[in-house]
Amino acid sequence: MRIAIASDHAGYRYKEAIKGHLAKLGHEVVDFGTDSELSADYPAFIRPAAFAVSAGECDRVIVLGGSGNGEAMCANRVPGVRCALCWSETSARLARQHNDANGLSIGQRLVSLEMALLIVGIWLDTSFEGGRHARRIEAIDAVE
C-alpha cells in the first residue's frame, strides 16, 4: 500500500517512528513533512498529503500533531478524504469498519508511541464492513 504521511512539529517524532514501522511492514511511504521539531503550521504539510489520496497518488494518509484535531480537520477538507482521529484500538477499528476511513490522525501528546503503532496496525488491517454503513458514507461523500 502507498501511504502518505505528514505532521507538524508536535507530531514529528511519531511520524518518523511510524514511517519506519510502515516500511518494515512492506508499505511505500511518501513523507510530506515536516522535517523537524521546529514550530510549523500543519496545513502546509497535511493538505498536500491529503490531496495525494484525493488524486489517487496514495491509498491512505496518516497525519500527526499534538492532539491530532487540527490535522484531522485539515485533511477532512479535501474531497474524498475521510480522516478519523483515533486514540484507542476500538476507535481505529471502528473508523475502518463503519466509516471506511482512508485517513488516520493521531495526537502525539495524547497516546503512547506503543499505542500509536497499535492504532496504525489495526487501521491498516481492518476492512470496511459495507452494508448499512455504505449508505452513510455515500451521504457523507454527497456533500462534496
Among 3.40.1160.10, 3.30.70.860, 3.40.1400.10, 3.50.50.60, name the CATH number for the domain at 2-142: 3.40.1400.10
β-pairing verdict for 103-107 and 83-85:
parallel
Mean pLDDT of 1-24: 98
CA atoms lying within 13 Å on the CB side of residue 112: 4
Mean pLDDT taken over the chain: 96
Pull the grid cell for residue 34.
Answer: 515536516
pTM of the model: 0.96
Q: How far apart are CA 83 and CA 73, in angstroms?
A: 8
Active-site position among 16, 21, 27, 98: 98
Does 138 participate in catalysis according to the annotation?
Answer: no
Active-site position among 71, 114, 129, 144: 71
β-pairing verdict for 28-31 and 60-65:
unpaired
Mean pLDDT of 8-21: 98
Does 71 participate in catalysis according to the annotation?
Answer: yes
